[in-house]
Amino acid sequence: MKQETITWEELQAKEEARFKKWGETPMKERLPITINKMLYIVRGDTGGSVVYADMLLSMLPNSSHKVNMNYWCYKSDRDDYQTMSELMDNFNTDLIFEYEKLVLPYREELLDYLSQD
């Protein structure tokens, strides 16, 4: 089987197109996908797991958790960062209720994970 080659520029253009399409997807569709991906990262106990757990908890209403956004940006996936940044920028009630509904069932699991350190 012949392997197809691709240039760095073509690869970057593909990634930019995918990222643009992701950004054009309505937030209500992106949010559950992003949260599930973030939970998967936390459960995988990777180098970014603590940062992801802190981020998930910090966005819950009345949360005392804080996250260093510069570090979060460094550790997070570009899609995750875009979605969570938009959620913060557009802190409208419907989205926050949706976020809370999606994350609250995992609150204790996230707190338990963070208490292991």
Is 76's pLDDT higher than 80? no
Mean pLDDT of the chain: 84
Domain ranges of the chain: 26-115
Q: What is the pLDDT of residues 82-116, one digit of tens each?
A: 888 887 777 666 888 888 999 999 999 999 998 98
- The packing angle between helices 78-89 and 27-43, to 10°, is 130
Which residue has tokens 């995750």? 80
* Stated pTM of the model: 0.74
